[in-house]
Amino acid sequence: MTPISRRKFIYTTALISGIPGVLSSFDTGTYVKSGGILNDIQVGVIASADNPEKDLNIVRDLGFPVCQLNIRIYSPELAKKLTATLEKYKIKATSLICGGPGVDKYTFTEGPSTIGLVPRENRAARMERLKNGMNFCKAAGILAIQTHFGFIPENPKDVLYGEFVETMKLLGEYALKNGVDIYFETGQETPVTLLRAILDIGTGNLFVNYDTANLIMYGKSNPVDGLKVLGKYVRSLHAKDGKYPTNPYELGKEVPIPMGDVDFPAVISSLKKLNFKGGIIIEYELAESTSEYLLKTKEYLEKLIAS
């Protein structure tokens, strides 16, 4: 099987340096309560798990109780190691991020023809990769798989829209047999278009990984307003910040939380009103993705959750 890499991925091995000093500067348990909303909404990170003992040890040392996983090559042996390590470290893997094969170009000009299952090129191979990911989820006890499925056409009569719906029905049914949910990561389509696709596919196990910054950086929606459309389907959230695009050929710029256009107090307030119970997963693709940033952001988000 061809190893897969994904642009949206925190390489946990890059966080090893500086952890002891950073941890001594933060009280990572300040906002953890024995009951109530902080048990329902937990802050986590994206982590590798190709070497579970090593990779997830870092997640544990940073004090994150939940994570999303990115794995290059699936195998029954790795599933067993992963299950044992998650139990040992008391970490919950909320979903498996599954992308590829082939090149995804996260741009306005080339994204529609390269990302996900909407383009015909690589569709069959990507379906196979997702099925293998679902098999791995079943073996490892991970309840959901997620990815960017592409620029879903706004026009429901578009030929590619119809093909996408039929493709996703097959995947949704396969996921049902494995007891796995599928999460659409937001960004490349409007919330209304995504809601229509979920209803048209109709397998009942389709939900949303709500990426706050993607909605802004792709110019598709204000994330607070988008929750009014997709709220009941949101099972996890990527805590990421960004700016709206001002150049129609380039995505908006990603920036550290809370320096962008995402209104995180309003987003988290809306999630609580929706009785959201899931993981808020910190995602930061810039070079400064360090343990210090992760812990500062964790503290910021937990204050909002507790307020």
Residue at 190 is within a domain: yes
Percent of the chain with pLDDT over 90: 85
Residue at 195 is within a domain: yes
Following DSSP, what letter does each residue of 40-85 receive, concatenated?
Answer: HSEEEEEEE-SSHHHHHHHHHHTT-SEEEEE-SS--HHHHHHHHHH
Domain that holds residue 99: 12-306
* Max CA pair span of the chain: 57
**111: pLDDT strictly greater than 50:** yes
Residue at 104 is within a domain: yes
All residues at 6 or more sequence positions from 16 whose CB lies less than 8 Å from its CB, including other chains: 58
Residue at 2 is within a domain: no
Residue at 66 is within a domain: yes
Count how many domains the chain has. 1
Residue at 3 is within a domain: no
Place of tokens 């959901």: 144
Percent of the chain with pLDDT over 70: 87
pLDDT tens, 209-243?
999 999 999 999 999 999 999 999 999 999 999 99
Residue at 241 is within a domain: yes
Respond yes or no on whether the N-terminal peptide bond of residue 258 is cis (omega within 30° of 0). Answer: yes
275: domain CATH number is 3.20.20.150
Is pTM beyond 0.85? Reply is: yes
Q: What does the alpha-carbon distance between residue 32 and residue 97 come to, in Å, rounded to a whole number?
A: 27
Residue at 5 is within a domain: no
Q: 3-state DSSP: the chain helix, strand, coil percent, rounded to 5?
A: 45, 15, 40
